Structure 1
Amino acid sequence: TPWPSDGQPRTAGLSSFGASGTNVHLVIEEPPAMTTEQPEPDPRPGRQAEVFVASARSEPALRELSLRWADFLRANPATPLDSVARTIAAGRSPQQVRAAFTARDTASLADRLHDFGTGDGGPAPRRAQAAHRVKTAFMFTGQGAQFAGMGRELYESEPVFRQALERCAEIVDPVLDRPLLEIVHPAEPDGSLDRTGYTQPALFAVEFALAELWASWGVRPAAVIGHSVGEYAAACVAGAVDLEDALGLIALRARLMESVTAPGAMLALQLDAQAAERAIGSRADLVAVAAVNGPQDTVLSGDADAIAEIRAELAREGVTAKPLTVSHAFHSPLLDPVLASLEEAAAKITFREPRVPLIS
C-alpha cells in the first residue's frame, strides 16, 4: 500500500488478539533515514580493549555459548567489537556462572572464546559464580585525592567521560581564571591542581564524569554517599541538584575557602570520635573533629599551633597521628567567616528529593 511520507517519521500500530483473550498492541516508528555522508573521524584514540562478559546457568552451557559466539565472530569478522560487547552484556539476562574476556579485536576474542569453549588452554578468563544479586553504592571522595592527569586515559578513550568532563568545563570555565581541562590535565604538573580554588571543581567534574561513564555501562548506584567535596557530586548524581547549580556552588565554595588566610592544619588520628574530642580538650574554639571515617579513624582540623600541640601530646601516649597535606583547615572553626556567603548562594538553588538514597 502506498504510504507517502510528509517529512515526519511514519508510525504504525500492530494489534494481535490471542484465542486465550490476550491482546497486544505494538507501536513502531520508522528508523531515521540512512545517509551516505561519513562523519569526520575523531582524531583522539578510542578504547584500547573491550570486555566481553558471558554467563550461563552451568559450566557446560557457558562453554557451549562461548563456542557459538566464536563461530559467529569468525563468520562475521567485520562486526564491531564494541557492539558485540554491549549486546552480550546488556542483551541477555545475567546468569549465575560467568566468565569475562578482554580483547583488542574481533579475531583475538573469537580465539579466546574458542579456546575456553573447547578447553584447549590459552589465557584463562576471569571467572565468577554469582550467588545472589548485590546492590552497588557510589562513594565520592573529598579533597586530597586529586592528582595531575587524573582521568586522562578515560578522557582520551571514552566518549561519555570526555563529553561529561567537557560539559563541566563549559559550565565552570567562566568563573575560573584558567580552563578546567588545563587544570585537570596540565601539559606539565605545576602543582596548581592542589590550589583549593582549582581542586574542588576539578574533583567534582572528574567524579561526575566517572558516574556518567558507569551509568552508560548500565551500572547505577542503589545509594550514594559523599565526603566533603564528594557530597556535592553525590547530591548531583542522585538528582537532588542540577549539574549547573552544584558545580557553580562548589566553585564558589572553593573560592571562599581559598580566601581564608588563617594558618590551619589537619591531622588524621587512629582514635574513635570520643577519644578525639577528649584530645581536643579546651581547644574546641580552635580545633574540631572534621571527619569520622571509621571506628578508629578520625580527622581533626583547626589552628596550626593547636594541632601541633595535640599531635605532640598524642605521640607521648603512643597514638598514631598523621598530618594531612592541605592548604586550609577544612571543616574547622577557622572557616566560619565564609559560611554566610556560602549559605546565601545555596539559598538561591532549587533542591529536590533525590532519585536514589543520598546518605549524608
Structure 2
Amino acid sequence: MDWESGAVALLTEEREWPEVDRPRRAAVSSFGVSGTNAHVILEQAPVQEAPAEFDAGSVTPVPWLLSARTTEALSEQAGRLAEFADSRTAAEAPAVARTLASSRAALERRAVVVAADQAQALTGLRALSSGEAVPGLVAGRAEVAGRSVFVFPGQGSQWVGMGRRLSAESPVFARALAEVEGALKPYVDWSLVDVVNQVPGAASLERVDVVQPVSFAVMVGLARVWGSLGVVPDAVVGHSQGEIAAAHVAG
C-alpha cells in the first residue's frame, strides 16, 4: 500500500478520540500470514448505568445452584454449603449465587434453591441435605450427554516435547504418527517421529516446514486416540492450519 498518498495512515501512537453526536465507530483490517483476514467495524458500546448496591433487605429471589455426580454427594454438598452460608452475611448472597452458577462444574445430579433471603436459602439447603421437600427447592437428574466438537488450532499452539510421552504410552497415537511420517517421507529429508521424540539431531520445530506437518500429525493422532476410546465428534472445526486436520478427520 502506498502510504505516501491519500488520507489513510497507520496509527502508531495513542491519540484522542473526540466525542461526536453519534456512537463512535472504527474500521479494523487485520491480515494474517496464513491468509486469515478479518475486516471488522467496531462501534462504541452504549453507556450503562452503574449497578445499584445490593440491598440486604431486598426480597428479590436469588437462585443457588448445586450439582454432583450422585444424590448422596449432592446432599453432602448442600450440608456443607448451609454451614458456609450460615457464617456469611445476607449481603453476600448474590456473590455466593454468582460463584455457584459460574465457577462450579455442571454435573449429572442437580438442584436449585431459590431464596429471597438468607433464612430461605438455609431452609432449602438443609432440606436438600436431609432429603426433604420445601418450597423453592427443585432437584433432579440432568441429561448431560450431548454432541461433541473437535477444535483444531493453528500454528502457534505447538511446544517442544508435545506428544512425546503419549507416543511412548499409546500405540494408537504412535501408529498415527508413523502413518503421517510414511506419507510425508517422499517429500522431506527429516523424520517426523524423531522430531516428536526429540531425538538428538532431529529437525527443529522452529522451522515452519517442520512445525506444520508435525502439528498436523499430533492433532490427527489425538483424534485417533479419542476415537479409540469411543469419543467420536459430531462436528469438527479448525483455525488456519488446523483446518487441514479438521478436513482429514472429517474424511
Measured against the shorter chain, the TM-score band is 0.3 to 0.5
Higher normalized contact order (CA 8 Å, seq sep 6+, divided by chain length):
2
TM value normalised by structure 2: 0.43
TM value normalised by structure 1: 0.31
